[in-house]
Amino acid sequence: MPDPRTEPTPAVSLQGLTVAYGGHGAHGGRPALDGITLRIQPGERVALVGPSGAGKSTLLGLCNGTVTPTSGRAQVLGTDPARASSRGLRALRSRIGSVHQHLNLVGPLRVVHNVNAGHLGSWGRWRALRSLVRPLQVDEARGALARVGIAGHLHQRTDRLSGGEQQRVALARVLVQDPDLVLADEPVSSLDPTRADEVMGLLCGVLSRDRPRRTLLVSLHDFDLAVRHCDRVVGLRQGRVVLDLPAADVDQQARERLYELESER
């Protein structure tokens, strides 16, 4: 049993968390998350996998405070998002980087502005507006783009880039934000397999090498990508954790158990 005095404070700690949207469970009374207990240590790269509707996005939403639990407790970077003041929640969110399938990039803006959006949590409003007129911290933006392999695109219009390149802009935005925790919800599901593999390599490589204690929690439909790029694989099914293994220990049997048809259970 680990000694609580020497264990690091977890980056994410969920205890008996249940989410029942609208006060009722989804799918005929079943909650979206059903008594989830999970600890993720700083620096871990964790993949969340499981069938559609298993609760992966809901779990990520709990971590950034956009979803409120019905019961149970969460600590994310030492803060309970559901009990934090609005200032506390803002402070927490400034330490969390997000990567989504929908990239939330402003297409007509030049790439440098979208990368600099990573500073918005720390820049005041005037600094942000000034930067829109004449970009600030350009060298930092260029450096971040270089690290994701598209340094030459700094001044291009963002919507002229390919989907994979735009995903790299979103990663560069996270790099300049420099968060302690990255939450990625289906970050590569719109990319072809080769691009998806490259972007996952950057997400789990550059983003975590950048700061070794940075924690990554990424939901994925592609089980192979999860095993290939992450340290640990957590499988959700019907709102419960049914698999939690180091990626190296995941075998075919574990995979089949996770995805077997609902009717077979």
Residues that bind ligand ATP (CB under 6 A): 21-22, 26-27, 32, 50, 52-58
Cβ proximity to ligand ATP: between 27 and 213 the closer is 27
Cβ proximity to ligand ATP: between 68 and 122 the closer is 68
Cβ proximity to ligand ATP: between 195 and 240 the closer is 240
CB 139 within 8 A of CB 176: no
CA separation for the pair 56, 226 (Å, rounded): 14
CB 158 within 8 A of CB 172: no
**What's the closest the beta carbon of residue 234 comes to ligand ATP, in angstroms?**
12
**What's the closest the beta carbon of residue 184 comes to ligand ATP, in angstroms?**
12
**What's the closest the beta carbon of residue 185 comes to ligand ATP, in angstroms?**
7
What residues contact 24, with CB distance under 8 A and at least 6 apart? Answer: none
188 backbone φψ class: left, alpha, beta (φ>0; ψ -120 to 50): alpha
**What's the closest the beta carbon of residue 237 comes to ligand ATP, in angstroms?**
9
Cβ proximity to ligand ATP: between 54 and 206 the closer is 54
The closest of 192, 204, 144 to 168, measured between CA atoms, is 144
**Dmax (CA) of the chain:** 60
